[in-house]
Amino acid sequence: MYIGKVSAVTEEIHNAVRSLVPQLGAHKSILALGDLNALIRSESSTLLIARHSDEKSEIVGMLTLTIYRVPTGIRSIVEDVIVDEKFRRRGIAQALLSHAIHMAKDAGADGVSLTSNPGRTAANQLYQAMGFEKRETNAYFYKLQR
């Protein structure tokens, strides 16, 4: 398996993102090419991809890691962990997360946050098995009108 940071958007990368994002849920919108380019150019966000066997094989998973500074330190959060449903339960998500954890540690973060829908049982079990601790907190979202 190969885990790598996306440094440029190619047609292959764009197609993989377009294929993987809907597997998070029907309500997830797919990034336009310009938005994907902005993500890749972002100084705070990193898109990681997983390839099935080596650097040249097909993309079967992805994860976004954001590392940012706040007055109380360096924070990191993992978003949009997706493994193609045909390749699940093969350690791909764990490999992506392990890579992200190492990147966050190297950047000076004191931990890695993530959220997960309670209905995603296998994902939640993986996170806990890897040492992520469930926090009791209130999560809020303010919907912006465009």
The identity of residue 122, as a single letter, is: A
Instruction: Please report where in the chains the tokens 């959060």 appear, as a residue.
Output: 77
pLDDT, one tens digit per residue, over 45-64 is 999 999 998 888 999 999 99
Is residue 135 included in any domain, yes or no?
Answer: no
Looking at the domain assignment, is residue 142 inside a domain?
no
Identify the band that residue 26 occupies on the pLDDT scale cut at 50, 70 and 90: low
Q: pTM for the full model?
A: 0.92
Residue 62's nearest CA partner among 44, 42, 43, 36 is: 36
Strands in 113-114's sheet, in edge-to-edge order, are: 2-5, 45-51, 59-70, 73-83, 113-114
- Please indicate, yes or no, if residue 143 is contained in any of the structural domains: no
List the domain range (segments joined by +) for residue 78.
Answer: 2-129
Contacts of 37 (CB under 8 A, 6+ apart): 9
- Tokens 């706040």, located at residue: 70
Q: Do the domain assignments include residue 57?
A: yes
For residue 136, tell me if it sits in a domain: no
Give the count of domains, the chain: 1
pLDDT per residue over 98-112, tens digit each?
Answer: 999 999 999 999 999
Please check whether residue 86 lies inside any domain of the structure. Answer: yes
Q: What is the mean pLDDT of residues 106-135?
A: 95
The CATH number of the domain holding residue 38 is: 3.40.630.30
The least confident of 4-13, 42-51, 135-144 is 135-144
User: Is 112 inside any structural domain?
Assistant: yes
Report if residue 96 sits inside a domain: yes
Q: Determine the length of the chain.
A: 146
pLDDT 10s digits, 70-94: 999 999 999 999 999 999 999 999 9
